[in-house]
Amino acid sequence: MTSVQLLEKTEVWLHGIDLDNANLPGLADVVADVLSLPRDKVFVTDVRPQLVVLDILAPRVELEDVAGKQDALLAALAAVPGIRVAADATVHSEGILGVIGTPRADVDRYLADARKLESQIATYASRRVAVVSTGSEILAGEIEDTNYAAIREAMVAAGFEVEFGGIAGDSEAEIAGMVARLSGEGFGIIITTGGVGAEDKDHTVEALERLDPQLSTAVLAQYTRGHGRHVKDAVRIAIARLGWSTVFALPGPTHEVKLALPVIVDGLAAGSSLPQLVEAIAAPLRSTLPHHQPHHHH
């Protein structure tokens, strides 16, 4: 299967469709079923004469599930009470979902080209690294961020291209949004620093969990929740997968980042699984943390 990101182009226009007391959630369900999408990710957002607009909220689709499905989709809609489908009806999208309208005779060739392109993009992306610093104190310029320079030095020496991806505040939504944007821009490796502690301002692992509920984590130190400033019971690092991107959530202190970098480089080269790699990264980091002391960021 060829999984692709929809990025911001998520609308689908059904031209040549008229409704007469039709059930809109039911219409959306039919579209979701034909395109093998979760029903709770497809919504009707606009209805006009000869036009129905839907929004697809799934971040990714499998090309094999949507390519060339125009005829099947229109036929399924025509069978729904209250929906009239014109003989010249079409399905259109300005984004990747435009493949729904690919002629059936061209689908196999299109998918072969897409798989080849996806492979080429993944290979290119695998050498591109984006670094995201988190923390309101960095965003406010209160402290110097020394992690980018350390990551750039180590990763460039290992043959990677490294760019600064930005600074995110102490917000799950902000961190998740920045990581998702960088993944969409073709960075195969995204490294975040900071926000992995046990305090109420630490949200990086939770942000990545929004993007990848199956992310791999490793505990560096455990605490009693509610003791001092600890609202969580552990300091955790994490590795998430988002499309072709591998996302590493590392601690904030630069000396800990430097300990992690050789392990990351070796693990990527060896093709280690994410659970193996996150534990390998955690091993040298655990020795730097007193298990019952607060975890301070630089």
Tokens matching residue 85: 């489908």
For 225-253, the three-class secondary structure string (H helix, E strand, C coil) is CCCCCECCCEEEEEEEEECCEEEEEECCC
Q: CA 230 to CA 241: how far, in whole Å? A: 28
The predicted pLDDT at position 280 comes to 97
The predicted pLDDT at position 292 comes to 42
Burial 77-111 (b: 16+ CB within 10 A, else e): beebeebebeeebebebebbbebbbbeeeebeeeb
The predicted pLDDT at position 121 comes to 66
Q: What is the pLDDT along the chain (298 residues), one digit of tens a residue?
A: 555 454 455 789 999 999 999 999 999 999 999 999 999 999 999 999 999 999 988 777 787 888 888 999 999 999 999 999 999 999 988 766 777 877 878 878 877 776 676 676 677 778 999 999 987 666 655 556 789 999 999 999 999 999 999 999 888 999 999 999 898 888 999 999 998 987 878 889 999 999 999 999 999 988 776 655 666 778 899 999 998 899 999 999 999 999 999 999 999 999 999 999 999 999 999 987 765 444 433 3
